[in-house]
Amino acid sequence: MKLKDILSAVNSRLGIDSLNKMQSNMLDTAAASRGDIVLLSPTGSGKTLAFLIPLIKELQPAGRLQAVVIAPSRELVMQIADIARKIAGDCRITACYGGHNAADEKASLQVEPDIIIATPGRLLDHINRKNVDVYRTRFLVLDEFDKSLQLGFSEEMERIIHRMPNLKRRFLTSATAIDEIPDFVRISSPVTIRHEEAETELRTRLDILKVVSPQRDKLDTLLLLLANQRDNTRSIVFVNHRDAAARVYDFLRQNGVPAGIYHGGMEQNEREKAIAMFNNGSFLVLVSTDLGSRGLDIAEVKHIIHYHLPVDAAAFTHRNGRTARIDASGAVHVIVAADEHIPEYMAFDSDESLDSDAKMDLNAPCATLYFKAGKKEKISKGDIVGFLVNNASLQGGEIGAINCYDHYSLVAVPHNKAKATIKAVEGKKIKNQKVKISLAIQQVE
């Protein structure tokens, strides 16, 4: 595909009129060298676009599988696939990941795609079932390679790459490096692009604040910290374990905080709900394990709160990368109990003083409607807007973000109009079909 066509799509479909320095560097390096590339650049700096543009530029109108992109999480796969489809013209792209309907994926693989974007486990399953043949694949991208080459994924990765003897080029990208890339990747004298300038610039837009908790149990300190944030902006609270996420989430909800929860033990649709409702303003706080530190498409997060200290420097980097994205600023709050050891990699700009009399005043501006129909039922965003404008007392400008998934859709509306809207549309048909519409909630066990 021609570079000018790709860049035109980046402009028209993504609203990006020029590449940043890191993306330009990656594009120039890929053009000048035919070999493997390792790209190290901070979270939020635009690595997805940086590897997709030179990858798509290399593709030929072959009508067969030419490239495989592997990412360690479902959400990252979906995000990469969404961007790729917007800029890749007529290239056929298939996304494969756990939690997605395997039969739908198998059907989509019947016509061989140009690019497969997948999690390791789901891709290996399709290979073993002979739903896809990666033998002729020429290009391999490992996004967040520091994660996908770790112990939990390495055996699957080795089996997958063993099935790709004809690889000509590899792109490995992440915010953090690893000590040694495993031999089975067969990477050969790679050009390494270290975009440390972006990391330095990012640090200037971050305030890292130490919050002392008088008790080892930090729940009350967390609540007070949130009460001190009177700007109604969004916060992600990071914990180290799923059970801790559930405990913190329950505590916040009981104390009137509009919070959601996100971790790897949840069903895929509940994870999708969590991100959609956080993005659309129905939740102002998201309680997450480190799964939420990579690959999520979340905009305008003002506060990162480390309820638990991160397990290592890489986790600290990825968590903090959820805020101060693009040109925005952000605050990182690290809650530390009196007897906790502070790791050497953690440097604070200042101690944070909290107003002990602050009252909780976080009010979500939106609520989310759940439509029990989606893309597979031929329901589109336009259908939903027309249905709500024609049947409820809503103006088009009052309808917020709409997320259409395979078999359901989520729609943001003003919080104070949600119940009236549900009542107004009760029994009405959308595209000649009755669809159950209710207030969206997270169903967390």
Termini Cα distance of the chain: 47
Instruction: Tally DSSP H helices, then E strands, for the chain.
Output: 15, 20
What is the tens place of the pLDDT at every residue in 315-334? 898 888 877 555 556 889 99
**The pLDDT of residue 46:** 85
Asked whether the CA dihedral 76, 79, 84, 90 is positive or negative, the reply is positive
The two tokens of residue 144 are 């967040």
Longest CA–CA separation in the chain, Å: 66
Q: What are the pLDDT digits (tens) for 40-98?
A: 987 777 899 999 999 999 998 777 899 999 999 888 998 899 999 999 999 999 999 98
Spans in the chain with pLDDT lower than 50: none
Distance CA 72, CA 75 (A): 9
Residue carrying the six token digits 């530190």: 293
| pTM of the complete model | 0.78
Instruction: Give the tokens for residue 145.
Output: 């390679």
Which pLDDT score, from 0 to 100, does residue 328 have? 57
The whole-number pLDDT of residue 423 equals: 95
* CB 340, CB 273: distance < 8 Å: no
Rounded CA separation 78/295 (Å): 9
Note the pLDDT of residue 103.
86
